[in-house]
Amino acid sequence: MLTIGDSFPTFELAASVKCSDDLDEAFQTITNDSFEGRWKVYFFWPKDFTFVCPTEIQGFGDIAAEVAEAGGQLLGASLDSEFVHNAWRKHEPRLTDSPFPWLADIGGKLTDALGILREDAGVAMRATFIVDPKNTIQWVSVYGAEVGRDPKEVLRALKATIDFVDNGSLMPCAWIPGQAPLTPGK
């Protein structure tokens, strides 16, 4: 699995960007160069039309504006097609207005390049990557398929990681935005 300090793989994928019957408005092509100059938070879920995944997608949608305010872009992904993503947005009211692109990693090239393909199940692991504007992975977490992530923890990690990369700040355990960083030797 790729980890901190590795380059995030190059990709070009179709994405569901809006719940719509108009396919020109529903889909967009996204690459690793999209959202240039921004931090990116990629989170992968195992499969559309499941039980834990919509709770996470909704939770990430709830923090999308704060991710943007911090200088980031949220991107979700699974091995499902953009058409399946769009159908799920239509079917599941909690997901209809999801405010971030859902990447369609059909065939799993990106998932495989990241090392997060669960070959036994043919799905992506429940993985999250925080990637800096230079395309370097700065933070990674992976959960089991049965356990949902806490998007607010990902947001906290994003803010702390940005502060560390930009200012060299060291963050204590359970650091919260606005709290002073650690000062070594004091």
Domain with residues 38-167, CATH architecture = 3-Layer(aba) Sandwich (3.40)
Is the pLDDT assigned to residue 184 strictly greater than 90?
A: no
Instruction: List pLDDT tens digits, range 84-98.
Output: 999 999 999 999 999
What does the block give as tokens for 30? 């996204």
- Percent of the chain residues topping a pLDDT of 90: 87
Nearest to 26 by CA among 98, 94, 97, 86: 86
Given 14, 15, 26, 53, which residue is catalytic? Answer: 53
19 is catalytic: no
The contacts of residue 153 (CB under 8 Å, 6+ apart) are none
> What does each C-alpha distance from 23 to 6, 54, 104, 105 come to in angstroms?
35, 22, 15, 18
For 129, counting Cβ atoms within 10 Å of its Cβ (0-12 exposed, 13-18 middle, 19+ buried), the class is buried
The contacts of residue 90 (CB under 8 Å, 6+ apart) are 19, 96
What does the block give as tokens for 106? 């059909």
Q: How far apart are CA 117 and CA 108, in angstroms?
A: 7
Instruction: List pLDDT tens digits, range 110-120.
Output: 999 999 999 99
State the average pLDDT over residues 18-36. 96
Nearest to 45 by CA among 37, 36, 55: 55
